[in-house]
């Protein structure tokens, strides 16, 4: 029987670096699965697994089923042996053929059973991909059939790559998402390849958002067929975890050279703007090849650049610079820029998932910066702060001068001059900003504020000889210690600032000892908190247990059964 688990390791916007384990095989997301086509073997599996180091592949189960010889072989030895690949094998059901050719000669039950028998790690039922421009009644009919078919996959022996359809109708996508997301752990956004090909990125963004908003935050999301690297950062930022690419090969067969900034015809290139092993070796000499050699080299370049771009996305998540990456990529084409602007229309939702303090300075990339998640989160908190001394910052507008040291304001200050602010006022404003209106009143005149000798910045708060808080050197945020946390708890009513544990005694004990709070032991969490926020951990009777830092967003903590919710201090 299948096993499937997913945890989030790092976050930025709705993007995440995750650890996905299927049947004991562990991979990191965002993950790219190259499609291997038995009929057109451009790059051998050995090379995909070896030189390219892919840990997951995708291939088409329907094509195997329809080839007598391969069918016999795969039923006998299993898909892994047939491929010569011991990583994760995902199989497609023939849905794509259904979309392109209008019909297939198999049934949902047959293709599910076939995938059970060949040992797919990830498989698909025969969902019906709705073309983007299908009339709504038709899209609805197809969706109803897809949802019905999904029922037959509930007991599949593979992880079901459950298709969410609905064409370009967002209400249908939302309904599909609720239907699929409630029952399957792996959700595939289907029918989007035609949008990719036609540069309909406005609709693509809306569809991904509609799906994500209507499934649990813990679902692994597969952007089915979205293999063009120029779209990776945008899709990752919206929360897609899996990508497959037949594109690397299909575009190569069409003499197309992929870049993170779009598609080039090889024939029109005069220089290769790439240093992958293919391009380093051949340079523009690539154009001198023809036939299969040319296709093979192009496919390899396309795959290298796709991996490279996914790595760029992961690095951007790791350093919290994903907005900046998306902003650069989306300037490669006006339709991409439209996609970026459309994404900012979802910033309110995205801001609930984003982290509250970032490792990389806030950088203005253009008009879209004003609508970023960080701006929404910051503006909400600025309202909590009363200040006599406002400073005008670009993008953010009027900001209390007391806050200029913290993210996201600190990188914008330089040219606007820092205001002199009394230390006590600064700490109080930070408390208001971080924890809520008047939280700063908890810092009395008697509190002693100690500064770092080296940097002359506030580092520690003492009251009556006891340290009540520290101020983090990296981002200048206040980290309340127990005494101050207790005062905060008293000032703000349940569930404000709180992560409330279930009644599991062992779990409570572990947290008391300083171990992380695991998602499954969280009963409730203040939805105004953000990933990266300091929080107060209490039991169901509101007894103080510890303080900690949120490792996920509240929505994720609610939905995830695995992984860390709060890093305990």
What three-state secondary structure class fits 502? coil
Q: Which is nearer to its own copies, 65 or 272 (CB)?
A: 272
Strand-pairing partners, residue 38, are none
Query: In this complex, which beta carbon is closest to its own copies, that of residue 63 or of residue 411?
Result: 411
Residue of the chain from 319, 423, 425, 528 that contacts its own copies (CB under 8 A): 319
- The yes or no reply on residue 372 touching its own copies (CB under 8 A) is no
**What does the block give as tokens for 493?**
């009513």
For position 365 contacting its own copies by CB under 8 A, the verdict is yes
Q: Which is nearer to its own copies, 412 or 458 (CB)?
A: 412
Q: Which is nearer to its own copies, 397 or 514 (CB)?
A: 397
Alpha-helical runs (H) found in 214-321:
232-237, 247-253, 277-282, 291-318
* Torsion of the alpha carbons at 531, 532, 534 and 538, rounded to the nearest 10: 40
Q: Is 46 in the site for its own copies (CB under 8 A)?
A: no
Look at residue 396 and give its three-state secondary structure: coil
The strand pair at 122-123 and 159-164 is best described as parallel
3-state secondary structure of 472: coil
By CB under 8 A, tell whether 328 contacts its own copies: yes
Does 274 participate in binding its own copies (rule CB under 8 A)?
Answer: yes
Determine which one of 37, 86, 92, 423 is catalytic: 92
449 exposed, middle or buried (CB, 10 Å; 0-12, 13-18, 19+)? middle
Cβ distance 200 to 153 under 8 Å?
no
The window from 106-114, 303-311, 400-408, 504-512 that contacts its own copies (CB under 8 A) reads 303-311
HSE-CB for 390 with a 13 A CA cutoff: 11
How many residues form the binding site for its own copies (CB under 8 A)?
Answer: 40
Distance CA 255, CA 170 (A): 35
Identified binder of its own copies from the candidate list 27, 49, 70, 276, rule CB under 8 A: 276
Interface region with its own copies, contact rule CB under 8 A, candidates 287-295, 325-333, 451-459, 533-541 = 325-333
131 binds its own copies (CB under 8 A): no
Using rule CB under 8 A, residue 277 touches its own copies: yes
Tokens of 461: 């708060």
Q: What Cα–Cα distance (Å) separates residue 331 from each residue in 234, 326, 365, 445?
A: 12, 9, 10, 51
Nearest Cα neighbor of 329 from 366, 304, 300, 359 is: 366
Residue 75 burial (CB count, 10 A): 15
Interface region with its own copies, contact rule CB under 8 A, candidates 66-74, 241-249, 273-281, 551-559: 273-281
Q: Does 308 bind its own copies (CB under 8 A)?
A: yes
Would you give the binding string for its own copies spanning residues 218-257, x where CB under 8 A is met? ----------------------------------------
92 catalytically annotated: yes
Nearest in space to 220 (alpha carbons), one of 194, 195, 188:
188
Question: Would you say the C-alpha torsion 275, 280, 286, 291 has a positive or negative sign?
Answer: negative
Residue 403 in contact with its own copies, rule: CB under 8 A: no
Q: Does 50 bind its own copies (CB under 8 A)?
A: no
Token reading at 104: 């297939």
Write down the least CB distance from residue 303 to its own copies, Å. Answer: 9
Residue selected from 318, 424, 449, 467 as contacting its own copies according to rule CB under 8 A: 318
| Binding of its own copies by 395 (CB under 8 A) | no
327 lies in the site for its own copies, by CB under 8 A:
yes
| Residue 7 sits in the site that holds its own copies (CB under 8 A) | no
Active site residues: 92
Residues that bind its own copies (CB under 8 A): 53, 261, 268-277, 280, 283, 304-305, 307-309, 311-312, 314-315, 318-319, 324, 327-329, 331-334, 337, 363-367, 411
């Amino acid at each position: 029987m299948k096993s499937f688990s997913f945890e989030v390791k790092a976050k930025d916007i709705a993007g995440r670096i995750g650890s996905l384990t299927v049947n004991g095989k562990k991979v990191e997301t965002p993950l790219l699965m190259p499609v291997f086509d038995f009929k057109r073997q451009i790059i051998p599996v050995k090379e995909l697994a070896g030189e390219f180091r892919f840990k997951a592949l995708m291939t088409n189960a329907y094509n195997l089923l329809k080839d007598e010889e391969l069918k016999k072989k795969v039923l006998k030895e299993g898909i892994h042996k047939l491929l010569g690949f011991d990583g994760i094998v995902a199989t497609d059901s023939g849905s794509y053929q259904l979309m392109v050719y209008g019909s297939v000669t198999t049934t949902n039950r047959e293709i599910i059973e076939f995938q059970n028998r060949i040992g797919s790690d990830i498989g698909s039922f025969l969902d019906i991909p709705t073309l983007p421009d299908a009339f709504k009644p038709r899209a609805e009919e197809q969706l109803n059939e897809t949802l019905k078919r999904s029922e037959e996959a509930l007991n599949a022996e593979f992880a079901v790559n459950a298709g969410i359809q609905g064409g370009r109708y967002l209400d249908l996508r939302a309904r599909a998402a609720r239907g699929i997301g409630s029952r399957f752990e792996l959700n595939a956004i289907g029918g989007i390849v035609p949008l990719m090909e036609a540069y309909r990125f406005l609709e693509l963004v809306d569809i991904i958002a509609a799906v994500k908003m209507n499934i649990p935050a813990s679902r692994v999301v597969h952007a089915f067929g979205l293999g063009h690297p120029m779209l990776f950062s945008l899709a990752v930022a919206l929360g897609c975890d899996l990508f497959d690419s037949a594109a690397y090969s299909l575009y190569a067969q069409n003499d197309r050279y992929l870049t993170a900034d779009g598609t080039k015809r090889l024939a029109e290139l005069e220089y290769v703007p790439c240093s992958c092993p293919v391009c380093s070796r051949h340079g523009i000499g690539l154009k001198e090849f023809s036939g299969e050699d040319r296709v093979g080299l192009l496919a390899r370049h396309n795959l290298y650049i796709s991996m490279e771009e996914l790595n760029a996305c992961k690095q951007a998540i790791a350093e919290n610079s994903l907005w900046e990456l998306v902003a650069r990529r989306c300037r490669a084409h006006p339709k991409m820029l439209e996609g970026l602007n459309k994404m900012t229309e979802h910033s309110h939702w995205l801001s609930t998932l984003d982290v509250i303090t970032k490792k990389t300075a806030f950088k203005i990339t253009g008009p879209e910066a004003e609508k970023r998640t960080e701006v929404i989160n910051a503006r909400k908190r600025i309202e909590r702060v009363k200040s006599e001394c406002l400073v005008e910052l670009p993008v953010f507008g009027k900001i209390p001068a007391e806050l200029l040291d913290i993210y996201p304001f600190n990188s914008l200050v330089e040219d606007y001059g820092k205001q002199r602010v009394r230390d006590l006022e600064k700490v109080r404003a930070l408390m208001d900003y971080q924890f809520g209106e008047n939280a700063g009143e908890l810092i009395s005149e008697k509190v002693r504020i100690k500064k770092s000798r080296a940097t002359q910045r506030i580092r520690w708060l003492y009251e009556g000889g006891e340290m009540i808080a520290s101020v983090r050197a990296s981002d200048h945020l206040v980290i309340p210690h127990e005494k101050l946390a207790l005062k905060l708890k008293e000032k703000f009513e349940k569930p404000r600032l709180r992560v409330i544990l279930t009644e599991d005694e062992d779990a409570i004990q572990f947290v008391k000892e300083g171990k992380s709070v695991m998602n499954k032991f969280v009963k409730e969490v203040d939805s105004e908190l953000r990933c990266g926020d300091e929080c107060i951990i209490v039991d169901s009777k509101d007894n103080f247990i510890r303080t900690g830092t949120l490792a996920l967003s509240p929505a994720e903590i609610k939905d995830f059964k695995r992984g860390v919710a709060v890093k305990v201090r």
